[in-house]
Structure 1
Amino acid sequence: MTKNLLKLSFTTLFLFIGNVNGFTQIPKKLPKPTGKITSKKTLTDTLKKKADKDSTSKKELKSYAELLKKATTKNGLFKVHQSENDYYFEIPLNLMEKDFLIVNKISSVPLALNESGVNKGVNFDNKVIRFSRNKSAKTIWVKTIVPQVESAPGDAITRSVKDNFTGSVIESFKIEAYSPDSSAVVIKMNKVFDGTEKSFNDVFTDIGLGASPKTSLSAIEKVKTFPQNVVVRALLSSRVMDAGISVPISMAITTNILLLPEKPMKPRFADNRVGFFSTPRWYFSDAQHKLETRELVTRWRMEPKPEDQARYLKGELVEPVKPIVFYIDPATPPQWRKEIIAGVHDWQKAFEQAGFKNAIQAREVTDTTDYDGDDVRYNEITYAASPKSNAMGPAVVDPRSGEILESDVIWWHNVMTSVQYWMRVQTGIIDSAVRYNKVSDERMGHAIRFVSSHEIGHTLGLKHNMAASASFPVDSLRSPSFTNRMGGTASSIMDYARFNYVAQPGDQVTNITPQIGTYDKYAIAWGYRWLPGEDPHQEIPVLKEWIKVHAKDPLYHYGEQQKMLDIIDPRAQSEDLGDDAVKASRYGLANLKRLIPQILNWSAPEGDNYYQAGKLYLAAIWQWQTYAEHVTANIGGYYLEDPVSGDGKDAYTPVPVKTQKAALEYFKEQVFLMPEWLFNKELLKKTFPVKDTPVGPMEYAPLNLRREYQYSLLYSLLSESRLLRMLEMEVLFGKDKVFTVAELFNDIRPAIFAQTMKGKSLAITDRMLQQNYVDALLVSTDKMLEKITKKSLKQTGSDNLPQTCDLGLSKETESSMNPAAGLRMIYVTAMSRTSEAASAKRAELLQILNILENNKNRGDESTKGHYMDLILRIRQSLQTK
């Protein structure tokens, strides 16, 4: 079995997980057209023929007693009858045409899928269904619907809504018998769970394996029925091809059929200035001039008891009708349970600002008699034994209202690996307890508590707020009094603001772990404070006023996550701290410079090899790269807002010229030269930077690593979208008010070719810098111009991929998963082949060619050969003589 067995691509993985930032969404894609147009009559005839085929005449129906004489029965939402290997649902007729939600989750996986991050608790598909009795055909049909539309009762347009948003039939069951009082039908359900049909779940397709279950190797394992739902667990088996090898795969799938509330929760309309996940809703009415489209906030039903409503409205804290309760998976190691529970309870203070006490709780499972982690009545923090380093907080949502019905946080065991490296690299210099290969349980517990709180935040409906870290002044992060008063490293735990790398030795800062902050409490209050009334439209003025009160305070600012490889607003970045990336990064560099010489002492005790030292070394280099990325985002960056009339804000403001130039100076200092202390010669005698890969540890040669990282950052600096944004701002504000593309190139070129213009011989690192710069220009220019030189046209649609929290440290992983694609971006790349960006890059190549031609006979032989190589490359690309 190959080591790379079933390594699913991150695109595939995040598509099948089906959640946005931790939240399961009802699929929005329509079935692909078949290319064949079918009339309404033909469709009806086809469905009727299928129904006739499945039908049984009244006289052929078995009696209830005869059919179930050997069956055992369980009572619940449906009666479930088991007769040997056959399973029958007894569905009351009064539940026909009611809304049910099918929730499909993975309950067990083999090693091959485990290594790909497919683990217990992953929710891969949900759909809303209705059971419908076809009296004439003696069958029960199952329709799937997308309940996205609402229309005013009594309006004429409601007739059209009913005709234009109908459900689609996905399954048909023969009625086997009627209950003795004729109030329910009995149907045999095996085929939709044992792999015969894919209508209720199609797991192998949904997770990207493209296989079908083998029915002879698949079976229903158990069925349970509860007051609100029925749970079916089945083992599905198949074989998939991997690297030419046929690999057996068996998975346990748990399907919940959940009765949705008869009366949906009153929805709350989303506002882009507060970061909640949402589900779409369309409103039709006769009085409209256009369709009303809204996004409904995803949140739990949090309401005061009827007898407490008056007290609640006076401002008293009251307990909700139904608190949110999370259960800790009994498989969780005992030493971490207390901290995970604490991470849940930390949100109680936030709910108190919404007017509720004891609103969110966490409990250990003390009696497993009735407890079942697969039952949607229980919210579970699931512990997955896996090498994957991650965590996620998905939820099951009622798409009619945005109500969160159930949630399972998935906690991958190896998340502690990422947490450990963050602590060691970012704060090891100021905290001796986290320096060594195994940090203390106390410190790890604090970190686990922070991760727990972050993921619970997602289960409450909160998106990432990547601008929260920018609300803290950089130097305040060096203040013990400020960090103790504000808590943590940002105004929101929903940022990826890790540990305090800004604090320096001697600052005596000890509050260095992210915590729930000002924004989190405000956001929960905004989303969960109960308002009387039935119409969500009546809440809009109140909700806007709550935002207006804090509109100018940076502690309450929400900054949406952006595409990781193309940051537009440098205030809303992952992994950064403080309101000044250059200053924060310089503090971080100072601590890294102290850390590098200590790696052998911290990671290689006597008698051990240097594997752990090599891994810590690579983590330190990644941290250096992260600082450079934070700074680079300022160049060509905009400050993005979601302004409303009267708030005095602008939607797009270019980063000040002074800030952009300071960022470029940092870039030249750190990336052009790359600090020698980063490549410590004593350390490199013992180990190169080490990365774990599917084929084993990979040792990165230092010169190769320098070339790779330098090139990556140069390519990012010269990116098409960055230059096009700078050109947009030049047109809007005038070139005297912005940092222009011409200024950028005129500042870069003399620094890169300084030694050349002096006629000196070049060191290998000088030659590498020039090669990387020229190649970044050549490759990016060729990509912009490929539509001119190639006959084929490559279409690039927007990747609106779902995501989980990425808690890993791997830059390669981050690049491939692209977690924020489809979030807030500015489209600037149309017709880029004819843009000033293409002209500027070609003009820069001609300037470089002129410098090289004038100096090609100067310097030593290596330098001359280097110049000729660059000349040939540029001439070939520009097709010059």
Structure 2
Amino acid sequence: MKEKAFLHNVKLFCLLILLLFIPVTVLAQKKKKKETESEIVKKDSTDAKKGKKYSDLIKKGTVKKGLFNIIQVKTDVYFEIQDSLFKREFLIVNKLSQVPYDLNEAGLNKGMNYENKVISFYKDTIAKKVWVKTYQPKVSSPKDDAITASVINNFAESIIEVFDIETKNNDSSAVVIKVNKIFDGKQKSFNDVMGNIGLNGSVKSDLSYIEGLKSFPKNIVVKSQMTTSLSDGGATVPITLGVTTNIILLDKTPMKPRFSDKRIGFFTEKHWYFADAQQAMLEKELITRWRLEPKKEDEERYMKGELVEPKKPIVYYIDPSTPKQWRKNIIDGVHDWQAAFEKAGFKNAVIAKEPTEEDLDFDIDDVRYSVITYAASPKSNAMGPSVVDPRSGEIIEADIIWWHNVMTSLQSWMRIQTGPIDPKARGNKFSDEHMGEAIRFVSSHEVGHTFGLKHNMGASFAYDVESLRSKEFTAKMGGTAPSIMDYARYNYVAQPEDNVTVITPKIGEYDKYAIEWGYRWYSPNENETAKLNALLTKHQNDPIYFYGEQQSGVAIDPRSQSEDLGNDAVKASEYGLKNLKRVVDNIINWTYDKDQSYYETGKLYVGTIGQWQTYNDHVLTNIGGVYLNTTVHGDNKQSYVPVPAAMQKRAADYLIKNVITIPQWLFFNDILDKTNPLKDSPLGPYEYTPYTMARALQYEIMYSLLFDERLLRMTENELYQRNKTNEKVFTVNDLFKKLHQSVFAGTIQNKSLTILERMTQKNYVDVLIISTNKLFEKTDAKKTIQLKETLQMPHLCSVDDEHTARNINNYFLKRVTEVTSDKKGELSKVLQLLKLKKSTGDQSTQNHYLDLIQRIEKALNNTTF
């Protein structure tokens, strides 16, 4: 130990001697070097202010020139914004580019546009910052009106982001800002993907990054990978999304808007107008449409009625991932609209094509390209949304999402609706030619949405039911309705002996009329409003041009229903039932596949039952139904026309015959020797027993038939019509009388009841009790019972994307209406009958009566009444 201490002291002494002999000049040189480094840092800072740092950025990074020059230095991304672009309006468009399995299963897919907003950049030279603001461009006022100052202050912009100015370009005509934070998930200002698609998690910025950048003359494209995690039953599931942000420069002068009219169906953007001369604010809706106009040199020819090519046609690209055998069908579906645009004066206005080598910059996520995107997904659907300039309603780009599994819906419709009259529509797999025809129809429908057209659910009512059985009529008119924007699927009315061959929906007269109204160009010297009104007036009394809004919830107007055909739901459904019986007789043969399970058999069977329920709903809507007409002063039309009493009676008789009396051919047949009805679910095929299914679907119709709003409309009709014309009406009492006589026919005749007859009586009594309880807002558990759709025929598109039909409000204080008295009166009448007949029939029937008596007495003696 002493030896080690000695050596340590020697080392210290030697080090001290060495330090004493270091030349002073060396220390001076080190001091000078330190001072020089400080001066360099200071000089760098000064140079940055003078723009020298800009040169370093350019030297170190890569530059992509365009709307904003994009400078990328390793992982740092900078925008170089020209002074001329400050205060200009831009549109942010955010889309999904990639999704993991977990979100695909939930129905989210590539191509979906989830967030749009208008922004402007503002340069702050004092604070050396760039502010980004957003606003809702839905308010206007004349520039020189006094009220405009108030409009500016009351509809002001909001700040959503701020950037430090890093430097200027060489001639100081642009500033440079670092933008990583708005694209890598640190900030939600430009892209709040998690919030907009409904995920609760926040972006994990350390697991997110900017993936790619492009800059073009009028837009920027930035692609990112955004990661979050979700808890699923305790386990954490990682979720990474590919997202694309487009920043688009909007035109200084927006397209001239065209104002909507409720008599024709276009998607709209709401707009408020203020002016000094007003006595009230003016609210209008701008239709959404493409900017289609003739070239300057063709205007005179266009005005003379000659067809001309538009200055800029509407172009759709086919996603390269689309299976090759369907590409031509999708393209043909787009080109079928050419005839409609010719009605508006334009030829070659719509083009669909596959991207070629000439489309060097083609990118599905780039808003310069409208794309029919093909999504590998189990979802059976398609939809056609658009990106719209909210200032004018101009459609900038369209995003049609085509889910691969939409073909399962098409096959189901064709087999069930046309199998009896078309041998090509019977097998488990169709030929490519036959499926291609269906794909063409869906393509046309969805593209119609991207032109701004809403669903026209009233179109099919224009055709007489018998005409749908005419080979000549269907060939001449082309399809099942005058609009492909209706949900008029396939011709289920035509019978095998009719030899009808044109059974697929096609673009019709209403579609051509709507495109002409929305897209015909008018010169500044013409009175556009007068000409548009003249076009509407010309066709106002022709059912071919009738527009029926899509209805949400319980339908009021039976003309505007989904999946229906013709102007008489009872007659059409009766023809439909004849064909359904043919389907049921052939289900096993049509689905035969040697050594395979009965999976396809069960699925076709459940689809057939679903079609039966669809017919029931079509008929049901006529009871208490009202024709809702969009009227204007001077047209001499009625706004509210109750469905004729004769039609309501026929509808009630149909339901009694085909629902109150459960059709045994449908629910109890030889198919049950092989399989139950099957419906796909996330856990695999779900089987329904026939008794359970029949009971649930009958209950659903009964509940809807005795729905409070329906009975209230019948009461109001009775009051109004009798006070007005003494015209015969179909009353609530008439309805209850028909139902009572049918439901309790066996009881009245002292018969022993079958299981199905007892089931029907239980359903009827329970519907009366539950619906009456709801009138008094009971907290009893029964009140929370909600009917869930046991079956649902497949649909296309989404009602969420459009305004649905107007709401007729009759909810106020329903408990003091006649509905309460009518329902309780019917319960009392049933109770009296059951007490009188409680000892008739076999033991099961008597047990059944005792059960119903106790239920009704409990309900009627409830103290809350």
CA distance in 1, matches of 2:274, 2:801: 34
Aligned match of 1:198? 188
Of 115, 121, 124, 1:125 maps to 115
Cα offsets for 1:31-57 (capped at 9, x unmatched): xxxxxxxxxxxxxxxxxxxxxxxx999
Aligned match of 1:875? 857
Aligned match of 1:79? 69
After superposition, the Cα gap between the structure-2 partners of 1:820 and 1:198, relative to the gap in structure 1 and judged at 3 Å, is: closer
After superposition, the Cα gap between the structure-2 partners of 1:78 and 1:479, relative to the gap in structure 1 and judged at 3 Å, is: same
Cα offsets for 1:718-739 (capped at 9, x unmatched): 1111111112212211275321
Aligned match of 1:252? 242
Cα offsets for 1:406-452 (capped at 9, x unmatched): 00100000000000000000001111011000011111011000000
Aligned match of 2:822? 840
Correspondence 1:335 to 2:317: no
Query: Is residue 272–residue 282 contact of structure 2 (8 Å, CA) maintained in 1?
Result: yes
Alignment of 1:487-526 (within 5 A): 487-526=478-517
Aligned match of 2:444? 453
Aligned match of 1:552? 541
CA distance in 2, matches of 1:247, 1:79: 38
Of 509, 523, 530, 1:541 maps to 530
Give the residue type in structure 1 aligned to 2:853.
I
CA distance in 1, matches of 2:623, 2:499: 34
Correspondence 1:719 to 2:707: yes
**The 10-residue stretch of structure 1 (447-456 or 235-244) with the greater mean CA deviation from structure 2:** 235-244
Query: Is residue 214–residue 222 contact of structure 2 (8 Å, CA) maintained in 1?
Result: yes
Alignment of 1:657-672 (within 5 A): 657-672=645-660
TM-superposed deviation, 1:824: 2.1
CA distance in 2, matches of 1:298, 1:753: 55
Unaligned runs of at least 5 residues, structure 2:
1-44
TM-superposed deviation, 1:868: 1.4
After superposition, the Cα gap between the structure-2 partners of 1:772 and 1:534, relative to the gap in structure 1 and judged at 3 Å, is: farther
TM-superposed deviation, 1:577: 0.4
Aligned match of 1:728? 716
Aligned match of 2:610? 622
Query: Is residue 57–residue 138 contact of structure 1 (8 Å, CA) maintained in 2?
Result: no
TM-superposed deviation, 1:369: 2.8
Alignment of 1:83-122 (within 5 A): 83-122=73-112
Aligned match of 1:379? 370
How many residues are aligned here? 811
Correspondence 1:169 to 2:138: no
Give the residue type in structure 1 aligned to 2:169.
S
Cα offsets for 1:84-113 (capped at 9, x unmatched): 011111111111111100001001101111
Q: Which has the larger radius of gyration?
A: 2
CA distance in 2, matches of 1:664, 1:228: 61
Query: Is residue 70–residue 79 contact of structure 2 (8 Å, CA) maintained in 1?
Result: yes
After superposition, the Cα gap between the structure-2 partners of 1:703 and 1:599, relative to the gap in structure 1 and judged at 3 Å, is: same
Give the residue type in structure 2 aligned to 1:138.
K
Indicate the SS of the match to 2:60: coil
TM-superposed deviation, 1:83: 0.6
Aligned match of 2:741? 750
CA distance in 2, matches of 1:820, 1:255: 25
TM-superposed deviation, 1:860: 1.3
Alignment of 1:396-795 (within 5 A): 396-533=387-524, 538-563=527-552, 565-734=553-722, 736-786=727-777
**The 10-residue stretch of structure 1 (513-522 or 225-234) with the greater mean CA deviation from structure 2:** 225-234
TM-superposed deviation, 1:681: 2.5
CA distance in 2, matches of 1:878, 1:435: 52
Query: Is residue 640–residue 652 contact of structure 1 (8 Å, CA) maintained in 2?
Result: yes
After superposition, the Cα gap between the structure-2 partners of 1:767 and 1:817, relative to the gap in structure 1 and judged at 3 Å, is: farther
Query: Is residue 641–residue 650 contact of structure 1 (8 Å, CA) maintained in 2?
Result: yes
After superposition, the Cα gap between the structure-2 partners of 1:865 and 1:785, relative to the gap in structure 1 and judged at 3 Å, is: same
Query: Is residue 596–residue 680 contact of structure 1 (8 Å, CA) maintained in 2?
Result: no
After superposition, the Cα gap between the structure-2 partners of 1:607 and 1:84, relative to the gap in structure 1 and judged at 3 Å, is: same
After superposition, the Cα gap between the structure-2 partners of 1:56 and 1:662, relative to the gap in structure 1 and judged at 3 Å, is: farther
CA distance in 1, matches of 2:47, 2:838: 94
CA distance in 1, matches of 2:475, 2:469: 11
CA distance in 2, matches of 1:534, 1:213: 54
Cα offsets for 1:767-822 (capped at 9, x unmatched): 000011111111111112116x689x99xxxxxxxxxxx9x983599999888785
Aligned match of 1:159? 149
Give the residue type in structure 1 aligned to 2:498.
D
TM-superposed deviation, 1:606: 2.2
**Pairwise CA RMSD of aligned residues?**
2.3
Query: Is residue 724–residue 829 contact of structure 1 (8 Å, CA) maintained in 2?
Result: no
CA distance in 1, matches of 2:799, 2:295: 44
TM normalised by structure 2 equals 0.91
Give the residue type in structure 1 aligned to 2:496.
P
Give the residue type in structure 2 aligned to 1:366.
T
Cα offsets for 1:337-386 (capped at 9, x unmatched): 00000000000000000000000010111225321111111110000000
Indicate the SS of the match to 1:63: helix
Query: Is residue 336–residue 507 contact of structure 2 (8 Å, CA) maintained in 1?
Result: yes
Give the residue type in structure 1 aligned to 2:242.
A
Indicate the SS of the match to 1:66: helix
TM-superposed deviation, 1:846: 1.3
Query: Is residue 223–residue 232 contact of structure 1 (8 Å, CA) maintained in 2?
Result: yes
Indicate the SS of the match to 1:775: helix
TM normalised by structure 1 equals 0.89
Among all aligned residue pairs of Structure 1 and Structure 2, give the percentage whose two residues are the same amino acid. 56
Query: Is residue 592–residue 620 contact of structure 1 (8 Å, CA) maintained in 2?
Result: yes
After superposition, the Cα gap between the structure-2 partners of 1:227 and 1:311, relative to the gap in structure 1 and judged at 3 Å, is: same
CA distance in 2, matches of 1:821, 1:696: 35
CA distance in 1, matches of 2:225, 2:277: 52
Indicate the SS of the match to 1:322: coil
CA distance in 2, matches of 1:848, 1:379: 62
Aligned match of 1:23? none
Cα offsets for 1:10-46 (capped at 9, x unmatched): xxxxxxxxxxxxxxxxxxxxxxxxxxxxxxxxxxxxx
Aligned match of 2:346? 356
Alignment of 1:856-875 (within 5 A): 856-875=838-857
Bigger relative contact order, structure 1 or 2 (CA pairs below 8 A, ≥6 apart): 1
Indicate the SS of the match to 1:458: helix
Query: Is residue 265–residue 549 contact of structure 2 (8 Å, CA) maintained in 1?
Result: yes
CA distance in 2, matches of 1:853, 1:680: 32
Correspondence 1:851 to 2:833: yes
Cα offsets for 1:243-290 (capped at 9, x unmatched): 332211110010100111111111001000010000011111111111
CA distance in 1, matches of 2:491, 2:234: 48
Give the residue type in structure 1 aligned to 2:709.
S
CA distance in 2, matches of 1:487, 1:481: 10
After superposition, the Cα gap between the structure-2 partners of 1:593 and 1:790, relative to the gap in structure 1 and judged at 3 Å, is: closer
Correspondence 1:179 to 2:161: no
TM-superposed deviation, 1:762: 0.8
Aligned match of 2:207? 217
